[in-house]
A and B are shown apart, each in its own frame.
Chain A
Amino acid sequence: MAEIVLNNLAHSYLPNPESEQEFALRELTHRWKQGGAYALLGPSGCGKSTLLNIISGLLQPSQGQVLFDGNEVNELSPKERNIAQVFQFPVVYGGMTVFDNLAFPLRNIKAPKAQIKQKVQEVAELMELTDVLKKKANNLSADQKQKISMARGLVREDVSAILFDEPLTVIDPHLKWKLRRKLKQIHEQLNITMLYVTHDQLEAATFADEIAVMYQGKIVQFGTPQSLFEKPNHTFVGYFIGSPGMNFIPVSWEQGECRFGNQTVTLTEQQEAALNATPSTNLKIGIRPEFVQLATSQERIEHSLQAECIHIEDYGTYSLATLMLDEHKIIMRVEEGERIAIGHVSIHFPNESLKLYIDEYLAGEVVSE
């Protein structure tokens, strides 16, 4: 069990990287606390698997340090780091029975037989593998095999951390549910640091207490799922978290008015102050489809924006309406019971959900504890 700290870590797959673009992982410093459940979330190619392999020791970073409980482990092999890792595709030792597969990591550290037996039974029970323990691992289905891979990661109690590299890729959607919940329960029971790499926001959010969103080799935001949703630090986080992502509209700041096209938006004092302070012209406002409201009440009508609804998609319990706000397309989520129709609509952006982005980064927020 360990706290994992990355210190000025960077990595390039090229021997002599010249530009920043050639780094798969740009310089970053980060801390994962002992016993936490964390996720690394990002699109493919963002560097999340590189980072995971550096932590487990399968890859040597070009620069910087990896610390486990304050001790540098850069020079240590995966074996010596005492880490468990579950890969994207199932890895089973084909010739062995499922029992032997699960016992393998324990036998390698020469654990006593009785303990192996007890631990394997326990984990098999947890992963619902008890029925197949005597079968050869080769003859099972892909998702059974992946369960074996996962179970093998869980049998050792003494590990510093368990790393998961998109472990649910080969699992059927309706089974993902169960396994994700299993992992969460296991985490609560074992109190081991767990790091989960995925491109799926739902998997990340439901598994992790805190998520690191990665983009172009950098961690652009680290926070609870809620904060990623409500206060995306960067336009990429706004776009990547949430389905559909945040709406962004480029705006101008002239004579104390935030404008786009013929429309004017009201901002908070802090946001106006931030706009006054910046020389940048890369200004955007962002609002989530969930927070766009129909202007019905008096207060809302005063600050309403005029839009044209051009398309409605029915998702069963809710709908997504596509609105044209001048030249800009935005998406609005309409709950069951609310009414909207093709044609003109008045909408309203609540102040607390309207975000300002200067040079793609969040600005003008009230600093709160």
Chain B
Amino acid sequence: MSLKLENINRTVNGEVYLKDINLTLEPGRLNVLLGRTLSGKTSLLRLIAGLDKPDSGKVFSRDQDVTGLSVQKRNVGMVYQQFINYPNLTVYDNIASPLKLAKVDKATIDRQVRDIAERLSISQFLSRFPLELSGGQQQRTALARALVKDADVVLLDEPLANLDYKLRESLRADLRDLFTQRNSVVVYATTEAQEALALGGHSVLLHEGQVLQSGPTAEQFRQPVNLNSANLFSEPPLNTLMGIKQGGELRLAGLPAVVTLSEHLKALPDGEYLFAWRPTDASLVAKSEHDIELLLDVDVAEISASESFIHTHYRVGQSTENHSWVWQIQGVHNLPNDDKIRLHLSSQKLFVFAADGKCVASPQSKLSELSILGDECG
């Protein structure tokens, strides 16, 4: 069964929470809602759950109109950022509670509880109380409770946000495997691009209550529709610079050299555009003679074990226009402040955005072959 949202709108106190949402969420894969705080992720989840009603539009489940149906009448499981369990019930009774409510017989309850506990590796804690467990185990209990009743729809609202990142890593992998084996429609809201990519599946990019784009996650990453969706996948954000494309030439603001056009830029109509690189696209050594070379002032360099985040600024020619750029470079590069750094950027990696923010060209990916191979095995 799939879940379909048609022309959903919701406004509260004059503030637009959701606008013209059209989505189909399929079972058997993870549907990731990626967006910043207040982008409408939670509003959308609440609406799918039946906790809120849309002002207009319809929600279909199994091709049946369920708009306005209360949450009690839908078979929904929900997991929140906070670890919500019944503190006075054991882990076993917590997991069993939705089944008891559904009046399932005892033997079946026992079998299902033990089964899901096994799969979430909390079997050894069944007789304990939630508050005696670690955060990760508490959240596993909440997950088990949401999963045990075989809900039609399982909603997860940043379920890993309150866990430390190592736990996140392991739970993420567990979740991915757990959900792809189910018939439920699973919707997972997150603010983190890394998490969306790690979970794989399909992503819906939300921004200010609107869907920017949706589809397989890795594809969304490579083909953003506009600057907002590119930035949703980039932490820190993309580094941008205005430039003019004319004939076979490209001039970037303040750069003396004319940039040789790479294949993906050749079809671009002449005009002024916003050009952008991902922070990971810079290299300390020239990889080709066509590389663009930039001499930047270093504000501060942050070292993160295997890579360095180099905060730089770039002044366009003699003007006051000043860009703050952050680059993420593999390896440790401990640069003193106010130093200069020479970076090499390939024009092949350029994203191009039109005046209205729409992405008109994105770099051809060398990884596309790889992702197809990856999908086959999943």
Contacts and interface: CB of A to CB of B under 8 A. Distances in A.
Contacts of B198: 313, 315
Interface string A190-216: 000000000111100111000000000
Given A44-B135, A200-B164, A312 B306 contact: no
Contact of B305 (A174, A177, A185, A226): A226
B6 interface: no
Interface in B178-194: 191-192, 194
B166 interface: yes
A201 B302 contact: no
B370 A225 contact: no
Contact of B302 (A184, A188, A226): A184
Interface string A108-151: 00000000000000000000000000000000000000000000
B289 interface: no
Contacts of A340: 370
Contacts of A244: 169
B261 interface: no
B218 A311 contact: no
A184 B311 CA distance: 12
Given A201-B304, A336-B366, A342 B165 contact: no
Contacts of B378: 311
Nearest to B218: A314
Given A200-B164, A244-B169, A315-B198, A226 B332 contact: yes
Contact of A315 (B194, B237, B300): B194
A242 interface: yes
Given A337-B366, A342-B376, A313 B135 contact: no
A317 interface: yes
Contact of A339 (B134, B278, B332, B369): B369
B303 interface: yes
B221 interface: yes
A43 interface: yes
Interface in B303-337: 303-306, 309, 311, 326, 332, 337
Nearest to B331: A226
Contacts of A188: 300, 337
Contact of A243 (B169, B233, B302, B303): B169
A238 to B, nearest CB: 11
Nearest to A178: B236
Contact of B377 (A177, A239, A312, A319): A312
Contacts of B367: 314, 316, 319, 336
A245 B168 CA distance: 13
Contacts of B332: 225-226
A84 interface: no
Given A172-B37, A316-B233, A225 B218 contact: no
B166 A245 contact: yes
B290 to A, nearest CB: 16
Contact of B197 (A225, A241, A315): A315
Given A172-B191, A173-B192, A173-B235, A313 B374 contact: yes
A239 B166 contact: yes
B306 A290 contact: yes
Interface residues of A, number: 49
B243 interface: no
A87 interface: no
Contacts of B355: none
Contacts of B280: 317
Nearest to A226: B332
A319 B374 contact: yes
B239 to A, nearest CB: 13
B371 interface: yes
B200 interface: yes
B309 to A, nearest CB: 6
B138 to A, nearest CB: 11
B36 interface: yes
Interface string B268-300: 000000000010100000000000000000011
B340 interface: no
B306 A44 contact: no
11 contacts: A173-B36, A173-B191, A205-B302, A224-B303, A226-B332, A244-B169, A314-B197, A316-B218, A316-B367, A317-B280, A336-B366
Interface of B: 36-37, 134-135, 164-167, 169, 191-192, 194, 197-198, 200, 218, 221-222, 233, 235-237, 278, 280, 299-300, 302-306, 309, 311, 326, 332, 337, 366-367, 369-371, 373-374, 376-378
